[in-house]
Amino acid sequence: MSDERMTTARTVTRVLREEGAQFIFGVVGGSNYAVMKGASQEGIRVVHMRHEQSAPFAADAFARCSRTFGACFLFAGPGYTNASNGITMAYNNRIPMVCVVNQHPTLCEEKGAGAASFAAEVLRPVSKWTNRLIDTRMAAHMTRRAVQEATSYPQGPVVLEIPDNLVTRQATSGDQWWNLSGALRRPPSSPAADPNAVEDAVKLLLAAERPVLVSGESVHWDNAAQELRRLAESLNIPVITRRSSRGAVSEGHPLAFYGRARGAILKQADVALLIGLSLGYLEDYGRWGGNTRFIQLHRGEADVDTSVRTELALIGDSKHVLGQMAECAASLAKTPPPREKWLEEVQSRKQAEALRLANDIEKYGSRKPLHPSYLSHEVVNFLDPEATFIFDAFTGSAYLTERVRSRFSGQVVDTGEWVTVGHGVGMGIGAQLARPGKQVFVMMGDGGIGIGGFDVETAVRYKQPVVYMIFNNSSWAGAAVEMFWGEDFLLADGSRGNPQRITPTRYDHLFAAMGCHTERVEEPAQVRPALERAFASGKTAVIDAVVDPKAYHPMILRQGPQHRWLGADGMSDYGRSLAFPERYPAEG
């Protein structure tokens, strides 16, 4: 840093730039204008959103797709509370993010200040680290510490709150305490696991009859795809990649399994190597077959799940430890174990799933309104192998994800266990900025576009060629209400009906007014030409896809018993047969 006088905001953004920040996302309000200006002066590109909720979503996707950290600037009070949803999602998914938040002036403490703000306190439960800058001489040090906290294990969002009267206060670099740019010349060395434990783990996998490898987020962040693939091949073990690591072993690889075949295969596994994946509800809490024995590989002991039967735990960086395991496997087994029976079973499950998907195309390929299975088929067949997929549609994402064959980690971006909606618009912008020149496709629900849709204009304004497909079934959560809850809700106008219905909307007309390239798709033959034109336009594009509202989410079909508490009265015949099969058997 030079000896020129600069504002605290400029000092903060200079450190962010020195630490690698390329973009900063947010909405201006009051004195955080100085943060925008400082970022611009330092060469950090400002992305001004339409709503603060989209800022951390965009920063999140940028961080995932670039394997760096995201940055946000947020106004006090309503600014950071609007953004809290995205910050919480980043916290749940361990996304490195630095949020610079303005606070009311210190002179107005407890005096009715405008947008009185205590972000460091309010966001503490959903942030890895929070702090309030109370001395401008600590600005550089605290910013560098914020980046260090965000990017070190376990990664996560951090919040640095700065009172308004300190943001524009000027000082020189000589006034900054405890600041030394580039003091950490190399990042800390990544830990390797105990060699004896590694050998024990490999022997367990070699001796298993039906082993699986199950990878999670750490494989993506540790850039361990090559080591994971090498281990799978050296031990001839089927592998599934989940969450951000999806595609670390290409889903076209013979050992990879995916989609609806996952459940049946995992239920038969006798030993599973779990690599940096949380066993939350998306993983059925690890209750796969009741007899599965786990080997767990995590960066920290606190991540080891004690609710599943675990033979041993390996603690270390997944890239290093998987490399250790691959070396050990090569020394213990000169050729990969054949595992003919197990691999045939896995292949049989995959073939059955492929046949089901093919039959769906035959069944739904000419249906109008569009069926999501055929719509997803057309999307996947059109997109480039390097395209990024972002999921933000309850029913639409379910059908799309089972057809996607991810080829690299970070190719698929979703919310993980934080089941928000409306995130896809901002995430599409962040992904496109991280991967310029690559296709970015976002599957949006018509519910989610109602929450985050106006930031499509942000993509237009910054000339980001994201393609948003709106899964237009004029309904929240598909047909769940008709199936289980009936049509007899008392509505605001005094009538009775389904409160989750949405007014049929021409989204192509709506977003054309914002300057988007738009398409309306109502028939199967229109899907591919619409995709071709949307991506060829080089503009932000919206495809309004009119989908059959009676196409149910597969999870609803599988989870009917969970709705038994509602009682059978008011349910459709189909809903009763799912929730109460012993009393209302399905016809046929």
Least confident of 27-31, 121-125, 245-249, 354-358: 27-31
Asked whether residue 180 carries a pLDDT value surpassing 90, the answer given is no
User: Tens of pLDDT along 479-515?
Assistant: 666 677 777 788 999 998 888 889 999 999 999 999 9
The vertex-23 CA angle with 22 and 29, nearest 5°, equals: 145
SS3 32: helix
CATH number at residue 112: 3.40.50.970
One domain, residues 313 and 424: no
Shared domain check, 456 and 335? no
Of 13, 29, 129, residue with least CA distance to 79? 29
Please give the pLDDT value at position 177: 81
Give me the phi and psi of 297, to 5 degrees please: -120, 115
Residue 491: exposed, middle, or buried by beta-carbon count in 10 A (0-12, 13-18, 19+)? Answer: exposed
CA 37 to chain centre: 30
Band (301; pLDDT cuts 50, 70, 90): very high
Shared-domain flag, residues 241 and 376? no
Query: What are φ and ψ of residue 230, in 5° steps?
Result: -60, -40
| Residues 94, 17 share a domain | yes
Place of tokens 């909606």: 421
pLDDT in tens, 62-111: 999 999 999 999 999 899 999 999 999 999 999 999 999 998 777 777 77
Q: What is the largest CA-CA distance in the chain?
A: 82
Query: Among residues 175, 210, 230, which one ends one of the domains?
Result: 175
Q: Is residue 34 domain-shared with residue 110, that is, in the same domain?
A: yes
**Average pLDDT score over residue span 539-556:** 89
User: Is residue 353 domain-resident?
Assistant: no
Residue type, 1: M
Compute the distance between CA of residue 69 and CA of residue 20 in angstroms, rounded to an integer. Answer: 8
Q: What percent of the chain has pLDDT over 90?
A: 76
Q: Check which CATH number belongs to the domain holding 227 and give it.
A: 3.40.50.1220
Sorting pLDDT into bands at 50, 70 and 90, what band is 552?
confident
Tell which residue, 197, 550, 251, has the closest CA to residue 389: 251
Q: In terms of domains, do 277 and 376 share one?
A: no
* Confidence (pLDDT) at 53: 95
Three-state DSSP class for residue 497: strand
Task: Give the tens place of pLDDT for each residue, 119-170.
Answer: 899 999 999 999 999 999 999 999 999 999 999 999 999 999 999 889 888 8
Query: Could you give the 3-state DSSP secondary structure of residue 460?
Result: helix
Q: Do 326 and 406 sit in the same domain of this protein? A: no
Question: Is residue 307's pLDDT more than 80?
Answer: yes
Q: 568 pLDDT exceeds 90?
A: no
Q: Is there a domain that residue 583 lies in?
A: no
Q: Which residue in 488, 489, 465, 485 sits closest to 477, CA to CA?
A: 485
Whether the pLDDT of residue 588 is over 60: the answer is no
Q: What pLDDT is recorded for position 478?
A: 72
175/437: higher pLDDT: 437
Say if residue 257 is in the same domain as residue 396.
no
Within a domain: 411: yes
d(C-alpha 515, C-alpha 18), whole Å: 36
Q: What is the distance between the alpha carbons of residues 28 and 52, in angstroms, rounded to a whole number? A: 9
For residue 505, give the amino acid letter.
T
pLDDT greater than 70 at residue 557 = no
pLDDT band at 40 (very low <50, low <70, confident <90, very high): very high
**pLDDT confidence of residue 505:** 95
- Residue 184's pLDDT is 60
Instruction: Check whether 188 has a pLDDT greater than 80.
Output: no
Give the residue numbers spanning the domain of 160.
6-175
- Helix, strand, coil percentages for the chain (3-state, nearest 5): 45, 15, 40
Give 259's DSSP letter: T
The reported pLDDT for the residue numbered 576 is 79
Q: How many domains does the chain have?
A: 3
* Secondary structure (3-state) at 508: helix
> Does residue 456 sit in the same domain as residue 392?
yes
Handedness of CA 29, 34, 40, 45 (dihedral sign): negative
Asked whether residue 558 is assigned to any structural domain, the reply reads no
| Helix (H), strand (E) at residue 346 | helix 340-364
Are 412 and 544 part of one and the same domain? yes
Residues 220, 250, single domain; the answer is yes
User: If you average pLDDT over every residue of the chain, what do you get?
Assistant: 91
Close Cβ partners of 561 (under 8 Å, ≥ 6 residues apart): 578, 579
Please indicate, yes or no, if residue 582 is contained in any of the structural domains: no
At 315-325, the pLDDT tens digits run 999 999 999 99
Q: Could you tell me the pLDDT band of residue 189, with boundaries at 50, 70 and 90?
A: low
In a domain, 580, yes or no: no
Same domain for 473 and 440, yes or no, is yes
Which residues share a beta bridge with 50? none
Average pLDDT over residues 171-187: 72
**Which of 208, 244, 203 lies closest to 225 in space, CA to CA?**
244
Residue type, 435: R
pLDDT of residue 555: 74
User: Is 568 inside any structural domain?
Assistant: no
For residues 22 and 296, what is the distance between their CA atoms, to the nearest angstrom?
35
pLDDT of residue 413 exceeding 80:
yes
**Does the residue 584 lie in any domain?**
no
Q: What is the pTM of this model?
A: 0.93
Residue 1 has pLDDT above 70, yes or no: no
